[in-house]
Protein backbone atom coordinates (compact mmCIF):
# COMPACT_ATOMS: atom_id res chain seq x y z
CA UNK A 1 0.00 0.00 0.00
CA UNK A 2 1.42 3.41 -1.00
CA UNK A 3 1.26 6.32 1.48
CA UNK A 4 1.83 9.87 0.23
CA UNK A 5 3.73 12.49 2.15
CA UNK A 6 1.70 15.36 3.56
CA UNK A 7 2.16 18.08 0.95
CA UNK A 8 -0.12 20.07 -1.30
CA UNK A 9 1.23 18.48 -4.48
CA UNK A 10 4.08 16.12 -3.58
CA UNK A 11 5.84 13.82 -6.06
CA UNK A 12 4.03 10.59 -6.85
CA UNK A 13 4.74 7.48 -8.91
CA UNK A 14 3.78 7.74 -12.56
CA UNK A 15 3.21 3.98 -12.76
CA UNK A 16 1.96 1.20 -10.51
CA UNK A 17 4.92 -0.01 -8.39
CA UNK A 18 4.08 -3.73 -8.84
CA UNK A 19 6.55 -4.39 -11.66
CA UNK A 20 9.38 -2.64 -9.79
CA UNK A 21 8.62 -4.49 -6.54
CA UNK A 22 8.67 -7.93 -8.16
CA UNK A 23 11.74 -7.16 -10.28
CA UNK A 24 13.76 -5.88 -7.32
CA UNK A 25 12.54 -8.78 -5.21
CA UNK A 26 13.77 -11.20 -7.87
CA UNK A 27 17.21 -9.56 -7.90
CA UNK A 28 17.81 -9.26 -4.16
CA UNK A 29 15.92 -12.39 -3.14
CA UNK A 30 18.70 -14.48 -4.68
CA UNK A 31 20.85 -13.61 -1.68
CA UNK A 32 18.49 -15.05 0.93
CA UNK A 33 14.89 -15.22 2.11
CA UNK A 34 13.34 -11.77 1.76
CA UNK A 35 9.95 -10.73 3.13
CA UNK A 36 8.27 -7.94 5.04
CA UNK A 37 7.55 -4.25 4.43
CA UNK A 38 9.94 -1.29 4.41
CA UNK A 39 9.24 2.44 4.66
CA UNK A 40 11.26 4.45 2.16
CA UNK A 41 11.68 8.16 1.53
CA UNK A 42 12.47 9.08 -2.07
CA UNK A 43 13.92 12.43 -3.15
CA UNK A 44 12.59 13.36 -6.60
CA UNK A 45 14.02 16.14 -8.77
CA UNK A 46 12.04 18.52 -10.94
CA UNK A 47 12.37 16.15 -13.91
CA UNK A 48 10.71 13.30 -12.00
CA UNK A 49 13.90 11.31 -11.40
CA UNK A 50 14.71 9.70 -8.06
CA UNK A 51 17.93 11.24 -6.77
CA UNK A 52 18.03 9.52 -3.40
CA UNK A 53 16.27 6.79 -1.42
CA UNK A 54 16.49 6.42 2.36
CA UNK A 55 15.28 3.56 4.57
CA UNK A 56 14.95 3.67 8.37
CA UNK A 57 18.12 2.99 10.40
CA UNK A 58 18.42 -0.64 11.47
CA UNK A 59 16.58 -2.06 8.44
CA UNK A 60 18.08 -5.43 7.50
CA UNK A 61 20.64 -4.85 4.75
CA UNK A 62 19.10 -7.01 2.01
CA UNK A 63 15.60 -5.74 2.76
CA UNK A 64 16.82 -2.14 2.63
CA UNK A 65 18.64 -2.76 -0.64
CA UNK A 66 15.54 -4.29 -2.25
CA UNK A 67 13.33 -1.41 -1.08
CA UNK A 68 15.85 1.18 -2.32
CA UNK A 69 15.91 -0.66 -5.65
CA UNK A 70 12.15 -0.13 -5.92
CA UNK A 71 12.49 3.54 -5.05
CA UNK A 72 15.06 4.31 -7.74
CA UNK A 73 13.35 2.11 -10.37
CA UNK A 74 10.06 3.98 -10.39
CA UNK A 75 9.21 6.90 -12.65
CA UNK A 76 7.64 9.86 -10.84
CA UNK A 77 5.53 12.90 -11.50
CA UNK A 78 7.44 15.73 -9.83
CA UNK A 79 6.15 17.92 -7.04
CA UNK A 80 4.37 21.08 -8.12
CA UNK A 81 4.58 24.53 -6.62
CA UNK A 82 2.61 27.31 -8.29
CA UNK A 83 2.13 24.94 -11.23
CA UNK A 84 5.89 24.58 -11.64
CA UNK A 85 7.80 21.31 -11.25
CA UNK A 86 10.09 21.44 -8.24
CA UNK A 87 12.16 18.90 -6.21
CA UNK A 88 10.30 17.15 -3.44
CA UNK A 89 10.12 14.02 -1.29
CA UNK A 90 7.80 11.07 -1.46
CA UNK A 91 7.18 8.50 1.28
CA UNK A 92 5.85 5.03 0.70
CA UNK A 93 5.78 1.56 2.20
CA UNK A 94 7.22 -1.15 -0.02
CA UNK A 95 5.71 -4.59 0.72
CA UNK A 96 7.41 -7.78 -0.44
CA UNK A 97 5.85 -11.23 -0.99
CA UNK A 98 5.20 -13.67 1.82
CA UNK A 99 7.56 -16.63 2.35
CA UNK A 100 6.67 -19.96 0.65
CA UNK A 101 5.87 -22.76 3.11
CA UNK A 102 6.26 -26.52 2.72
CA UNK A 103 3.24 -28.59 1.71
CA UNK A 104 4.82 -31.72 3.17
CA UNK A 105 7.62 -32.25 5.70
CA UNK A 106 11.01 -31.44 4.18
CA UNK A 107 12.42 -34.49 5.96
CA UNK A 108 10.41 -36.76 3.63
CA UNK A 109 12.17 -35.36 0.56
CA UNK A 110 15.60 -35.48 2.22
CA UNK A 111 15.16 -39.11 3.24
CA UNK A 112 13.99 -40.02 -0.27
CA UNK A 113 16.82 -38.18 -2.03
CA UNK A 114 19.72 -39.07 0.22
CA UNK A 115 22.43 -41.24 -1.29
CA UNK A 116 20.87 -44.75 -1.52
CA UNK A 117 20.50 -46.66 1.71
CA UNK A 118 23.54 -48.86 1.10
CA UNK A 119 24.91 -48.96 4.61
CA UNK A 120 28.50 -49.40 3.43
CA UNK A 121 28.28 -46.07 1.61
CA UNK A 122 26.64 -43.49 3.87
CA UNK A 123 27.11 -39.75 4.02
CA UNK A 124 26.46 -36.86 6.35
CA UNK A 125 26.50 -33.11 5.95
CA UNK A 126 24.48 -29.89 5.81
CA UNK A 127 23.98 -27.33 3.07
CA UNK A 128 21.77 -24.26 2.62
CA UNK A 129 20.09 -24.27 -0.79
CA UNK A 130 18.54 -21.18 -2.36
CA UNK A 131 15.32 -22.15 -4.16
CA UNK A 132 13.12 -20.04 -6.40
CA UNK A 133 9.58 -21.25 -5.84
CA UNK A 134 7.13 -20.54 -8.64
CA UNK A 135 3.52 -19.52 -8.31
CA UNK A 136 2.57 -23.18 -8.74
CA UNK A 137 4.56 -24.19 -5.65
CA UNK A 138 7.27 -26.07 -7.60
CA UNK A 139 10.96 -25.17 -7.51
CA UNK A 140 11.96 -23.39 -10.74
CA UNK A 141 15.68 -23.14 -10.00
CA UNK A 142 18.08 -23.65 -7.14
CA UNK A 143 21.57 -22.50 -6.22
CA UNK A 144 24.20 -24.15 -4.03
CA UNK A 145 27.16 -22.53 -2.29
CA UNK A 146 30.60 -23.07 -3.79
CA UNK A 147 32.56 -26.13 -2.75
CA UNK A 148 29.52 -28.39 -2.31
CA UNK A 149 30.46 -32.07 -2.53
CA UNK A 150 29.28 -33.98 -5.65
CA UNK A 151 27.04 -36.41 -3.73
CA UNK A 152 25.40 -33.51 -1.90
CA UNK A 153 24.89 -31.60 -5.16
CA UNK A 154 23.04 -34.61 -6.57
CA UNK A 155 20.95 -35.05 -3.43
CA UNK A 156 20.07 -31.33 -3.29
CA UNK A 157 18.92 -31.39 -6.92
CA UNK A 158 16.71 -34.37 -6.12
CA UNK A 159 15.16 -32.48 -3.18
CA UNK A 160 14.56 -29.40 -5.33
CA UNK A 161 12.81 -31.55 -7.95
CA UNK A 162 10.67 -33.33 -5.35
CA UNK A 163 9.72 -30.79 -2.68
CA UNK A 164 6.44 -28.84 -2.98
CA UNK A 165 5.43 -25.51 -1.42
CA UNK A 166 2.44 -23.37 -0.77
CA UNK A 167 3.63 -20.45 -2.94
CA UNK A 168 4.34 -16.91 -1.83
CA UNK A 169 1.63 -14.31 -2.38
CA UNK A 170 1.60 -10.61 -3.13
CA UNK A 171 -1.49 -8.50 -3.59
CA UNK A 172 -3.62 -11.64 -3.18
CA UNK A 173 -1.98 -13.52 -6.06
CA UNK A 174 0.74 -16.15 -6.12
CA UNK A 175 4.21 -15.06 -7.26
CA UNK A 176 7.71 -16.45 -7.64
CA UNK A 177 9.75 -16.14 -4.45
CA UNK A 178 13.21 -17.08 -3.19
CA UNK A 179 13.67 -19.05 0.02
CA UNK A 180 16.63 -20.58 1.86
CA UNK A 181 16.11 -24.30 2.46
CA UNK A 182 18.54 -25.92 4.95
CA UNK A 183 19.21 -29.55 4.06
CA UNK A 184 20.63 -31.82 6.75
CA UNK A 185 21.79 -35.27 5.74
CA UNK A 186 22.52 -37.60 8.65
CA UNK A 187 22.63 -41.24 7.69
CA UNK A 188 25.11 -43.42 9.55
CA UNK A 189 25.38 -46.79 11.23
CA UNK A 190 27.58 -45.36 13.97
CA UNK A 191 25.49 -45.17 17.15
CA UNK A 192 27.76 -42.48 18.57
CA UNK A 193 26.84 -40.01 15.84
CA UNK A 194 23.63 -38.08 15.41
CA UNK A 195 21.52 -40.73 13.71
CA UNK A 196 21.40 -44.52 13.74
CA UNK A 197 20.01 -46.07 10.58
CA UNK A 198 18.72 -49.63 10.24
CA UNK A 199 17.99 -50.71 6.67
CA UNK A 200 14.64 -52.31 5.75
CA UNK A 201 14.36 -56.10 5.62
CA UNK A 202 11.82 -58.55 4.19
CA UNK A 203 9.00 -59.35 6.60
CA UNK A 204 7.01 -61.88 4.51
CA UNK A 205 7.33 -65.57 5.30
CA UNK A 206 8.89 -67.92 2.73
CA UNK A 207 5.49 -69.36 1.78
CA UNK A 208 4.19 -65.90 0.83
CA UNK A 209 7.30 -65.20 -1.25
CA UNK A 210 7.01 -68.54 -3.07
CA UNK A 211 3.32 -67.84 -3.75
CA UNK A 212 4.29 -64.41 -5.17
CA UNK A 213 6.70 -66.08 -7.59
CA UNK A 214 4.00 -68.56 -8.68
CA UNK A 215 1.48 -65.82 -9.35
CA UNK A 216 3.86 -63.32 -10.93
CA UNK A 217 6.24 -65.38 -13.06
CA UNK A 218 5.38 -65.04 -16.79
CA UNK A 219 3.42 -67.99 -18.15
CA UNK A 220 5.32 -70.07 -20.67
CA UNK A 221 8.78 -68.87 -19.55
CA UNK A 222 11.51 -71.06 -18.07
CA UNK A 223 14.47 -68.66 -17.87
CA UNK A 224 15.75 -66.43 -15.07
CA UNK A 225 16.80 -62.76 -14.91
CA UNK A 226 18.43 -60.58 -12.26
CA UNK A 227 16.64 -57.22 -12.40
CA UNK A 228 17.53 -54.12 -10.39
CA UNK A 229 14.87 -51.79 -9.06
CA UNK A 230 14.73 -48.64 -6.95
CA UNK A 231 11.94 -49.13 -4.45
CA UNK A 232 10.29 -46.87 -1.89
CA UNK A 233 9.13 -48.60 1.29
CA UNK A 234 6.68 -46.78 3.53
CA UNK A 235 7.09 -46.57 7.29
CA UNK A 236 4.40 -49.26 7.47
CA UNK A 237 6.53 -51.65 5.38
CA UNK A 238 4.51 -51.43 2.15
CA UNK A 239 6.19 -51.00 -1.25
CA UNK A 240 4.82 -47.67 -2.42
CA UNK A 241 6.86 -47.17 -5.58
CA UNK A 242 8.97 -49.36 -7.86
CA UNK A 243 11.28 -47.96 -10.56
CA UNK A 244 13.41 -49.95 -12.98
CA UNK A 245 17.12 -49.10 -12.85
CA UNK A 246 18.54 -48.91 -16.36
CA UNK A 247 16.85 -49.41 -19.71
CA UNK A 248 14.06 -51.89 -20.25
CA UNK A 249 15.15 -55.13 -21.95
CA UNK A 250 12.48 -57.69 -21.05
CA UNK A 251 9.14 -56.17 -20.06
CA UNK A 252 7.52 -59.48 -19.11
CA UNK A 253 10.27 -60.33 -16.62
CA UNK A 254 10.48 -56.75 -15.37
CA UNK A 255 6.72 -56.66 -14.73
CA UNK A 256 7.05 -60.00 -12.90
CA UNK A 257 9.69 -58.50 -10.61
CA UNK A 258 7.42 -55.54 -9.85
CA UNK A 259 4.55 -57.92 -9.12
CA UNK A 260 6.74 -59.89 -6.71
CA UNK A 261 7.92 -56.78 -4.87
CA UNK A 262 4.37 -55.49 -4.48
CA UNK A 263 3.24 -58.88 -3.14
CA UNK A 264 5.58 -58.96 -0.16
CA UNK A 265 5.92 -56.80 2.92
CA UNK A 266 8.95 -55.37 4.70
CA UNK A 267 10.09 -54.29 8.11
CA UNK A 268 10.53 -50.57 7.50
CA UNK A 269 13.83 -48.75 7.82
CA UNK A 270 14.39 -47.11 11.19
CA UNK A 271 16.03 -43.84 12.10
CA UNK A 272 16.97 -43.62 15.78
CA UNK A 273 14.43 -46.35 16.50
CA UNK A 274 11.58 -44.72 14.58
CA UNK A 275 10.14 -46.27 11.42
CA UNK A 276 10.70 -44.04 8.37
CA UNK A 277 9.97 -44.20 4.66
CA UNK A 278 13.07 -45.13 2.66
CA UNK A 279 14.23 -45.55 -0.90
CA UNK A 280 16.89 -48.07 -1.87
CA UNK A 281 18.20 -50.22 -4.68
CA UNK A 282 16.78 -53.76 -4.53
CA UNK A 283 17.72 -56.56 -6.96
CA UNK A 284 15.22 -59.33 -7.69
CA UNK A 285 16.08 -62.71 -9.20
CA UNK A 286 13.04 -63.45 -11.33
CA UNK A 287 13.05 -67.22 -11.88
CA UNK A 288 10.61 -70.11 -12.32
CA UNK A 289 8.77 -70.85 -9.06
CA UNK A 290 10.32 -73.76 -7.16
124: pLDDT confidence band, cut at 50, 70 and 90? low
pLDDT at 196: 61
**pLDDT, averaged across the chain:** 84
* Rg (alpha carbons) of the chain, rounded to whole number: 29
What φ, ψ does residue 97 adopt, rounded to 5°? -60, 160
Please, which residues bridge with residue 170 across strands?
Answer: 173
Which residues are within 8 A (CB) of 189 and not within 5 positions of it... i.e. 6 or more apart? 119, 122, 196, 197
Residue 191 has pLDDT above 60, yes or no: no
pLDDT at 123: 58
In this predicted structure, which of 83-97, 170-184, 190-204 has the lowest mean pLDDT? 190-204
Residue 207 has pLDDT above 60, yes or no: yes
Rounded to the nearest 10°, the torsion over CA 69, 72, 76, 79 is: 120
Residue 202 has pLDDT above 70, yes or no: yes
For the full predicted model, state whether its pTM sits above 0.85.
no
In this predicted structure, which of 6-10, 22-26, 230-234 has the lowest mean pLDDT? 6-10
pLDDT at 86: 92
Residue 57 vs residues 39, 45, 63, 68, 98: alpha-carbon distances, Å: 11, 24, 12, 13, 23
Q: Give the integer Cα–Cα distance in Å for 213 and 232.
A: 20
135: pLDDT confidence band, cut at 50, 70 and 90? very high
Read off the pLDDT of each residue in 159-179 and give the average, rounded to a whole number: 91
Amino acid sequence: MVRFAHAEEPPRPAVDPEEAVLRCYGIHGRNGTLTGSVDVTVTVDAAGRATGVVTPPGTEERLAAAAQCVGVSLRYQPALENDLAVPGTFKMTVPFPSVPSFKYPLRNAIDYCHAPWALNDVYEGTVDVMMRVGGDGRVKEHMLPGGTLPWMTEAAKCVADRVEFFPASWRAKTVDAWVIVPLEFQLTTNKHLDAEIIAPTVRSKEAIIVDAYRRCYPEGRTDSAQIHYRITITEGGRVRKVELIGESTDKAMEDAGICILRSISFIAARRNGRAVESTLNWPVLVRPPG
